[in-house]
A and B are shown apart, each in its own frame.
Chain A
């Protein structure tokens, strides 16, 4: 076998996944250093403080909502679903990239996922927490929300299994539990590392508790790898199912603009699109603040922008297809809905959506731009905004002018709508900042796996 491996690992990948002169030890040092530092960086305090204040606003808004009624929002007849459902779909979409990166890319042996998977999985969990909150608080009688679960009750009544909302309950809760499990399982070996290095008793206790007695034995690693593979296989269909089911909320209904078979794939593409944008929004500042530039490299960012460009074009294709089908169907209501979307009273929202989601990612054709962190960061914000508007356009513009013109009514949000959305970002960033401070942000053991040192057999023969 002498020198038959003329194409080496290094030739296939022009750039190392881990930059600098890192070895096994230095990676542990870098990642654990963030947790072990006596004080987090100043930026952490600023972001965490802001997020906490926003979370307080969210709490106040929810108290106001529950004590007063859904009328504090802008919802009306015919727009019975307003911002809360827009926010729900927006956050579920963001919660998509995590599982895609950790499960699908794992199954496809995309090694570059290792630098960002922990990060995006955490993002997924927190985004789904934000998402799950909205349908729960948006119902008229919050105190009976548990009726949507098939629990034994004195009425001897099942929920209505024909309702897409019920499918949603199952889809989102399944997705949440599998994502949480997947994330936690990946954390176990890293938690053990933190436990072993911990100096304080409290830290030893808590990290010890959650690392479940991990010793790093061969047998444990073997079972870990197996379980990880099984969970990845379980989670992969969920990537497709959860947003497909969310799209059924719209697609199964009769409303022109919602009643479309294109929705499931279109929603999944959009979700991946927005999820990756959010990973970029989070990781670009985080790698700087916590000194992780050598682990989350420009190559990771480059790859993510390519995914954004690809899914952005899928989303653009879906927009075009919707228009084509509205015309091709010959259905007068369908046709009107789309013309009204693009040129009616909500045209401003439609064109924000198109320019953010379809036009702006096109600049990623240029490598220079893909590696310009400032531009990429701004673009990722554009995509986030655009994807929020996509859900707004779908939900509100279809409802506000439906079948009977007598029902038509323009929707305007209230200050409570706006502060609740801002507050949900507070919840998200509070959880995320706590994660950054107390848990390893990068999967230590997995990153070590992609080091050249982890594959000594290549040149040893």
Chain B
């Protein structure tokens, strides 16, 4: 294999053959007439690869004298370097920019194709996790839609979900409209990769009469206008239901105002100038709850645990991509629920990416914030459960005991962050059926598969904590789990390292330092739940030109 230019590596098995199966390599060899079936514990593929490396790899080097040593080195290092030719200089030819044509003018609408973060060009369309991953901006699941500005929509009489008939030089397509704040006027943006007819049982398969998900933008894409084209829009009276995990921008005035009033304290933000002038700007809220004036003996006073787990999320780093959601879903066996259940508001994400728009529909500021269980010290969910199914661990985790849960859902009502998720149906039915032995293996064996009727939520990857604890005990050092040794799935996958997990008892840990940062604040701290998760306020450094433009617009709106 040649995973990267200049590197060669060995194809190594990731898993033993499941049940009575053979590896694909063995099958190809057998079909090509190069080998015979090896049966159980077959070495056909192994022998073949070893032979190849003997012929091509071993013979072309001089470091190792015998093949056995060479082979051991290769398996151990799994990779061998080769001389890489120096790259040639690339020159940007700006003369070609002159060849660009004029952009389509007002009577014709500009049409732009793009790829969504989840399914991309469509090759990931049959992965249900990615279909249900809310788009970072639209929060749309299980669909693509023609994004259009509020102004253009109003001019053309388009409502959220109106079906549009789009015509380009390449073809026509009926597609649902989505009113997108901040979108350019007289333009339509549509994601590729949807409307597939032979993708599989998730995204659509005509042969098995499985309806396709979304609208096939490729029908509007001609070979001479690959990504931008002129489009004609015809508004029809038909409507399409779009499943979003959050309200879109256009809600009633009262809701809009309530949202705008509270957002500055929920998602704290400032500009660099503001931060330099007052580094404590995020701490402006009253801090009476910090005082140790509780009427009760607090839990932490009763026991001195070896560790106190906590988390910090730096909003300055967070880009709102939603990778944490998917990482968590895969780590914690979280089922997808499908479009109709998303419409009912029953998606099961343990960590979700909240997205808000502040300002006008023409030029809004988008704000995002990942929210999972805050693991409150004084958790409101714990006191209201009649059967004590959610309790506090000595290390400060808010544990969920699935076996004890009877599903009153009171904990969810009393959670101000609404991070608790309920199994309204048996979402794991398929894996319980006989004959689905292989399907069961998609689950993480360290995490319980939840049954119908129980509540679930972020466990701070307790299985990962326990895994490291077991290892450290075996090494007689269980009080000295190093900072960073335990990684949450969300933390591990975050491309911008916005999430930090660790021991807040250890003042040198990354999380302790992050929580001591002057940008740190707790979400809804005034409720005195004492969350274990801190957010670090976002500091923006906008270009002065953009700020000017924005303030001008506000004036023109005033």
Q: A135–B406 Cα gap in the complex (Å)?
A: 11
Pick the residue among A141, A155, A169, A255 that contacts B405 (CB under 8 A). Answer: A141
* Given A69-B453, A165-B384, A344-B252, A74-B344 contact (CB < 8 Å): yes
Interface of A: prevailing SS: loop
Q: Are B386 and A166 in contact (CB under 8 A)?
A: yes
Pick the residue among B254, B408, B420, B421 that contacts A343 (CB under 8 A). Answer: B254
Q: A69–B407 Cα gap in the complex (Å)?
A: 11
B246 at the interface (CB under 8 A from A): yes
Residues of A contacting B423 in the complex (Cβ-Cβ under 8 angstroms): 69, 140
Q: Are A71 and B384 in contact (CB under 8 A)?
A: no
A159 at the interface (CB under 8 A from B): yes
Instruction: Using CB atoms, name the residue of chain B closest to A340.
Output: B254
Which of B266, B355, B406 has the largest count of A CB atoms less than 10 A from its CB?
A: B406
Q: A336–B388 Cα gap in the complex (Å)?
A: 32
Q: Are B421 and A77 in contact (CB under 8 A)?
A: yes
Interface residues of B in 123-166 (CB under 8 A from A): none
Q: A254–B380 Cα gap in the complex (Å)?
A: 7
A399 at the interface (CB under 8 A from B): yes
Residues of B contacting A80 in the complex (Cβ-Cβ under 8 angstroms): 409-410, 412-413, 422
Interface residues of A in 132-190 (CB under 8 A from B): 135, 138-142, 144-145, 147-148, 155, 157-160, 162-166, 169
A interface residues, how many (CB within 8 angstroms): 56
Residues of B contacting A336 in the complex (Cβ-Cβ under 8 angstroms): 254, 258, 261-262
Q: A263–B408 Cα gap in the complex (Å)?
A: 21
* Given A76-B344, A165-B410, A340-B254, A70-B422 contact (CB < 8 Å): yes
Pick the residue among A159, A169, A408 that contacts B247 (CB under 8 A). Answer: A408
Residues of B contacting A69 in the complex (Cβ-Cβ under 8 angstroms): 423-426, 452-453
Residues of B contacting A402 in the complex (Cβ-Cβ under 8 angstroms): 416, 418
Q: Are A252 and B384 in contact (CB under 8 A)?
A: yes
A435 at the interface (CB under 8 A from B): no
Q: Are B261 and A332 in contact (CB under 8 A)?
A: yes
Q: A317–B254 Cα gap in the complex (Å)?
A: 25
Residues of A contacting B413 in the complex (Cβ-Cβ under 8 angstroms): 78, 80-81, 253, 255, 399
Instruction: Using CB atoms, name the residue of chain B closest to A166.
Output: B386
B454 at the interface (CB under 8 A from A): yes
Q: Are B386 and A255 in contact (CB under 8 A)?
A: no
Residues of B contacting A10 in the complex (Cβ-Cβ under 8 angstroms): none
CB of B413 to closest CB in A, whole Å: 5
Chain B 340-382, CB within 8 Å of chain A: the 1/0 string? 0100111100001011100000000000000100000000100
Pick the residue among B261, B345, B371 that contacts A77 (CB under 8 A). Answer: B345
Interface residues of A in 63-96 (CB under 8 A from B): 68-71, 74-81
Residues of B contacting A253 in the complex (Cβ-Cβ under 8 angstroms): 380, 384, 410, 413-414
A339 at the interface (CB under 8 A from B): yes
CB of B59 to closest CB in A, whole Å: 61
Q: Are A148 and B424 in contact (CB under 8 A)?
A: no
A214 at the interface (CB under 8 A from B): no
Q: A460–B422 Cα gap in the complex (Å)?
A: 74
A406 at the interface (CB under 8 A from B): yes
Residues of B contacting A333 in the complex (Cβ-Cβ under 8 angstroms): 262
CB of B185 to closest CB in A, whole Å: 27
Chain B 80-102, CB within 8 Å of chain A: the 1/0 string? 00000000000000000000000
Instruction: Using CB atoms, name the residue of chain B closest to A345.
Output: B252
* Given A332-B261, A344-B254, A404-B417, A77-B412 contact (CB < 8 Å): yes
Residues of B contacting A14 in the complex (Cβ-Cβ under 8 angstroms): none
CB of B249 to closest CB in A, whole Å: 12
Residues of A contacting B405 in the complex (Cβ-Cβ under 8 angstroms): 140-141
Chain A 302-333, CB within 8 Å of chain B: the 1/0 string? 00000000000000000000000000000011
Pick the residue among B247, B344, B524 that contacts A403 (CB under 8 A). Answer: B524
Q: A69–B427 Cα gap in the complex (Å)?
A: 10
B255 at the interface (CB under 8 A from A): yes
Q: A345–B251 Cα gap in the complex (Å)?
A: 10
Chain A 333-375, CB within 8 Å of chain B: the 1/0 string? 1001001100111000000000000000000000000000000
Interface of B: prevailing SS: loop
Q: Are A78 and B247 in contact (CB under 8 A)?
A: no
Q: A443–B140 Cα gap in the complex (Å)?
A: 64
Chain B 413-449, CB within 8 Å of chain A: the 1/0 string? 1101110111111100000000000000000000000
A409 at the interface (CB under 8 A from B): yes
A195 at the interface (CB under 8 A from B): no
CB of A155 to closest CB in B, whole Å: 8
Q: A262–B241 Cα gap in the complex (Å)?
A: 41
CB of B348 to closest CB in A, whole Å: 9
Which of A71, A138, A162 has the largest count of B CB atoms less than 10 A from its CB?
A: A71
B272 at the interface (CB under 8 A from A): no
Q: A405–B404 Cα gap in the complex (Å)?
A: 31
Q: Are A163 and B247 in contact (CB under 8 A)?
A: no
Residues of B contacting A165 in the complex (Cβ-Cβ under 8 angstroms): 384-386, 408, 410
Q: A76–B420 Cα gap in the complex (Å)?
A: 11
Q: Are A406 and B246 in contact (CB under 8 A)?
A: yes
Q: Are B341 and A139 in contact (CB under 8 A)?
A: no
Q: A148–B404 Cα gap in the complex (Å)?
A: 11
Q: Are B410 and A78 in contact (CB under 8 A)?
A: no
Q: A404–B246 Cα gap in the complex (Å)?
A: 11
Q: A347–B418 Cα gap in the complex (Å)?
A: 23
Q: Are A68 and B410 in contact (CB under 8 A)?
A: no
Q: A165–B414 Cα gap in the complex (Å)?
A: 12
Q: Are B453 and A407 in contact (CB under 8 A)?
A: no
Q: A142–B423 Cα gap in the complex (Å)?
A: 14
A448 at the interface (CB under 8 A from B): no
B73 at the interface (CB under 8 A from A): no
Q: Are A148 and B344 in contact (CB under 8 A)?
A: no
Q: Are B258 and A78 in contact (CB under 8 A)?
A: no
Q: Are B410 and A71 in contact (CB under 8 A)?
A: no
Residues of A contacting B408 in the complex (Cβ-Cβ under 8 angstroms): 135, 138-140, 165
Q: Are A140 and B345 in contact (CB under 8 A)?
A: no
Q: A344–B252 Cα gap in the complex (Å)?
A: 7
Q: A66–B389 Cα gap in the complex (Å)?
A: 21
6 A-B interface contacts by CB (under 8 A): A69-B453, A80-B422, A155-B404, A404-B354, A404-B371, A405-B263
B residues contacting A by CB (< 8 A) are 246-247, 252, 254-255, 258-259, 261-263, 266, 341, 344-347, 352, 354-356, 371, 380, 383-388, 404-410, 412-414, 416-418, 420-426, 451-455, 524, 527, 529
**Nearest 8 pairs between A and B by C-beta?**
A140-B407, A140-B453, A71-B424, A76-B345, A80-B409, A406-B354, A407-B418, A409-B345
**Sample of 16 more A-B contacts, CB < 8 Å, known A77-B412, A139-B407, A140-B407:** A69-B425, A69-B452, A69-B453, A76-B346, A77-B421, A78-B418, A140-B409, A160-B388, A163-B383, A165-B386, A253-B414, A340-B258, A399-B413, A402-B418, A406-B352, A406-B356
